Chain A
Amino acid sequence: GAVVSQHPSWVICKSGTSVKIECRSLDFQATTMFWYRQFPKQSLMLMATSNEGSKATYEQGVEKDKFLINHASLTLSTLTVTSAHPEDSSFYICSARPAGRLNQPQHFGDGTRLSIL
């Protein structure tokens, strides 16, 4: 089946540093990937839609300069949390939609737990 790999699975870093999270589709191409954030005991909230070869589309209230998204290839999207602070601590999940297959559902990565000290 379709597999989405997300790396790292858990990262702890100091306040003020930048953290990069990778989302890879391993056995399919994805022109569109999605980044979600999930706070403890809450639902998934879409942060942005990542489009291969073009700028990401951010949801209202999400700072595009803080959450940098790059989708440079059909199998890789990255989310960089710049100058991270404790309030950015959360669970980040990506998903990928197989290119050219509108009737196939998105496939989710296993998520990244980000802890900012």
Chain B
Amino acid sequence: AQTVTQSQPEMSVQEAETVTLSCTYDTSESDYYLFWYKQPPSRQMILVIRQEAYKQQNATENRFSVNFQKAAKSFSLKISDSQLGDAAMYFCAYGLIQGAQKLVFGQGTRLTINP
């Protein structure tokens, strides 16, 4: 079975600084997606960034970028120029490209932004 592990229950960063959230996963599949979701206090799930496993180039979305290391099964999220609105729970998730595409989530990392 696939598993996703986030080893940092909590992280904090100064506003305007850069922070990296870690995620590792375990799978025997070769075609899959990896995601980072943000869940603010409203508990809405917001997709931050997505990476296709077959793509070597790391995905970027404005201030958000990933470091995808397929051989190491590592998928970290870097947030640059942190803003107060970035404070939230962040979940790493895994899903197969084929089939039902159900998601397996990590335990989450609570990110605090210090003004």
Contact = CB atoms under 8 A, between A and B. Distances in A.
Nearest to A34: B102
A4 to B, nearest CB: 10
Interface residues of A, number: 20
Interface string B15-44: 000000000000000000101000000111
Contact of B47 (A32, A91, A93, A105): A105
A83 interface: no
Contacts of B84: none
Nearest to B52: A103
Contact of A44 (B42, B91, B95): B91
B65 to A, nearest CB: 18
Interface residues of B, number: 21
Interface in A1-56: 32, 34, 38, 42-46, 49
Interface of B: 33, 35, 42-45, 47, 50, 91, 95, 97-98, 100-108
A88 interface: no
By Cβ-Cβ distance, the 3 closest A-B pairs, closest first, are: A108-B45, A43-B105, A44-B105
Task: Tell me the interface secondary structure of chain A in the complex.
Answer: strand
A91 B43 contact: yes
A73 interface: no
A71 interface: no
Interface in A85-116: 91, 93, 95, 97, 102, 105-106, 108, 110-111
